[in-house]
Structure 1
């Protein structure tokens, strides 16, 4: 069996399976219970200093 046929067969079977498992793992990680506060914090982070600018040289800790 030449190298191209071997790699194509490998990509059509095991690599495809590995990528599907990786994709499902990412989806489960994103929608796992308890991750809502983390996602909400990331989504609202750009609005934290909307009313007043952040103090110069000071990091905001929440």
Structure 2
């Protein structure tokens, strides 16, 4: 058996099995019980350092109105 045929047979069987198991493991890990708190915490990252805008009614208008 030459190298190409061996690698093709390996990719057709064992690599497909390994990638399928990896995919299923990733799905199970993402939806595991208790991960809701982690996902909610990560979803709030963009809003953690949000500052309240300063009321700029006291500042003079320097731009031209369109």
| TM-score bin (small chain) | 0.7 to 0.9
User: Unmatched 5+ residue regions in structure 2?
Assistant: 53-66
Max radius of gyration: which structure?
2
**RMSD (Å), alpha carbons:** 1.0
TM-score for both structures, normalised by structure 2: 0.74
Q: Superposed, which structure 2 residues align to 1:1-62 within 5 Å?
A: 1-52=1-52
Task: Tell me which protein shows more helix as a share of its residues.
Answer: 1
User: Unmatched 5+ residue regions in structure 1?
Assistant: 53-62
TM-score for both structures, normalised by structure 1: 0.79
Q: Larger relative contact order (C-alpha < 8 A, sep ≥ 6)?
A: 1
Aligned residues: 52
Moved over 4 A (4+): none
